Structure 1
Amino acid sequence: MAKRGKKYLEAVKLVDRTKLYEVKEAIDLAVKTAVKNFDETIEVAVRLGVDPRHADQQVRGTVTLPHGTGKTVRVLVFAKGDKIKEAEEAGADVVGSDELVAKVQEGFLDFDVAVATPDMMGSVGKLGRILGPKGLMPNPKTGTVTFDVGKAVQEIKAGKIEFRVDKTKIVHAPIGKKSFGVEKLTENFKAFMEAIIKAKPAAAKGQYLRSVVISSSMGPGIKINPQKVLD
């Protein structure tokens, strides 16, 4: 087991591992226990009462956080003709058509989100084995396959994030940086949780929110009362 530093061990003492905290109290603790010498990301992990093995119990969607994530997101756009200029004017970092598809095939992956116009998907589909496992494949369900590339790029740059339940029934997401402060982080947290609740599958039975844990990227986990989130 890795040896923990003195600052981390001091931070752990602030957290009662047996307690289910109120939302604001938990976020305040997450900020206080972010003791590293950089602006740590505040993250949320939600365990859901679903079975991801079944198609009708998948939980997936997007949400635009009111205050963004605090991270500079590199957006790549696959497009043709006038849509190339539209994407560039909206702030896309890399834009191109078939030559860009070839570049990605050769190993270029210096981006965080990929957007494609529908008429490019015939070519982009070849990248499924490369982009799919990394969660970078454009998808109409998350708004990343669209002719409205300008709007898509602007939303992503403004703090739109994608979430998806994994095989362990957990959804992970960043909700901002330590420097945001409790109020902005709380607003981002609420927006994220509202999206999770809205995405509840009709086939899900029993308790939907099983556990909610918040932490800084290098700090201890802090449990939030799931019932209070619903309230």
Structure 2
Amino acid sequence: MAKLTKKQKEALAKIDRNKLYSVNEASALVKEITNVKFDASVDIAVRLGVDPRKANQMVRGVVTLPHGTGKDVKVLALVTPDKEAEAKEAGADYVGLDEYLQKIKDGWTDVDVIITMPSVMGKLGPLGRILGPRGLMPNPKTGTVTMDVAKAVSEVKAGKIDFKVDKTGIVHAAIGKASFTPEKLSGNANELIQTLIKLKPTAAKGTYIKSIHLSSTMSPSVPVDPKAV
């Protein structure tokens, strides 16, 4: 087992392992125990009582975090020429079509989100093996395949994220930065949790939200009381 540093021991000592914190308390505590020299990401991990192997228990969706992610999201808009101007005006970092399709084919994936139009999806199919594993393949369910390209770009830039339960039944998402106030972190966390509650599959039985943990880059995780959300 890796040896804990002095700072890691100090951080762990501040977490009461016999206590489940409220979202507000956990948000404040995560800030307190974060001691890296950069603006660390703050993440939430929610364990759900679902079996993701069954299609009727898959949990996937989108949420617009009220206080944004704190990250400058790089957006590529793969659109036809008639949509290029609106994509640029909405704030897309890269706009075009064939030249970017070729760049992706050559291995370029230096973006966070790709937004495209239904008519272009056929051209993206062959790039699935490149985009899929990186979570970059546009999907109508997450609003990244749409005719309203400007709206989609604006929403992503404002803090819209998509999430999906992994094979172990956990939803992971970045909900801000350590520089955020506790109120902003808890506001974003609550928005995601409430969205997950609304998406509860009818086939899921028993306890739906089993556990919630907040953590930042390289910090220990703080347990949140699922009954308090």
Compute the TM-score of the two structures, normalised by the length of structure 1. 0.97
For the residues of structure 2 that align with 1:93 and 1:55, how far apart are their CA atoms? 35
Mind listing any 5+ residue stretches in structure 2 that lack a counterpart? Answer: none
| SS across alignment from 1:71 | coil
Aligned-partner Cα distance in 1 for 2:69–2:198: 21
Displacement of 1:22: 1.6
Partner of 1:29: 29
Read off the aligned partner of 1:71 and give its amino acid letter.
K
- Counterpart of 1:131? 131
Deviations 1:79-125 (A, max 9, x none): 00221111111111111112211110111111000111111011011
Letter matched to residue 50 of structure 2: V
Q: Distance in 2 between matches of 1:189 and 1:228?
A: 13
Trace 1:147-226 onto structure 2 (pairs within 5 A): 147-226=147-226
Distance in 1 between the 2:225 and 2:28 partners? Answer: 15
Q: Distance in 2 between matches of 1:125 and 1:141?
A: 16
Question: Structure 1: how far apart are the matches of 2:95 and 2:146?
Answer: 14
Q: Deviations over 1:126-163 (max 9, x none)?
A: 11111111111000000000011101000000000111
- Segment drifting more, 168-177 vs 13-22: 13-22
Question: How many angstroms apart in 1 are the aligned matches of 2:34 and 2:143?
Answer: 33
Cα contact 2:45–2:171 (8 A) shared by 1: yes
Partner of 2:115: 115
Say whether residues 1:20 and 2:20 are aligned partners: yes
Q: State the alpha-carbon separation in 1 of the partners of residues 157 and 6 from structure 2.
A: 37
State the number of aligned residues: 229
Q: CA separation in 2, counterparts of 1:8 and 1:36? A: 11
For the pair 1:42 / 2:42, whether they are aligned, the reply is: yes
Alignment map for 1:39-78 (pairs within 5 Å): 39-78=39-78
Distance, in Å, in 1 between the alignment partners of 2:103 and 2:175 is 32
- Aligned residue for 1:39, secondary structure, equals coil
**RMSD of Structure 2 on Structure 1 (CA):** 0.9
The CA distance in 2 between the partners of 1:226 and 1:29, in whole Å, is 17
State how far apart, in whole Å, the 2-side matches of 1:164 and 1:18 are.
30
Q: Which stretches in structure 1 are left out of the alignment for 5+ residues?
A: none
Q: Alignment identity in percent? A: 57
User: Structure 1 CA distance, aligned partners of 2:74 and 2:219?
Assistant: 26
Alpha-carbon distance in 2 for matches of 1:74, 1:120: 20
Distance 1:54 1:79 in 2: 34
SS in 2 for 1:85: helix
Which stretch shows the higher mean deviation, 76-85 or 158-167? 76-85
Distance 2:118 2:46 in 1: 33
Identify which range, 18-27 or 158-167, moves more after superposition.
Answer: 18-27
Using the size of structure 2 for normalisation, the TM-score is 0.97
* 2-structure distance, mates of 1:168, 1:73: 27
2:59 corresponds to which letter in structure 1?
V
Q: Answer yes or no: is the 8 Å Cα contact 1:61–1:141 preserved in 2.
A: yes
Whether the aligned pair in 2 keeps the contact of 1:41 and 1:178 (CA below 8 Å) is: yes
- Conserved in 2, the CA contact under 8 Å of 1:98 and 1:123? no
Runs of 4+ residues over 3 Å off in structure 1 = none
Preserved CA contact (<8 Å) 1:73 1:156? yes
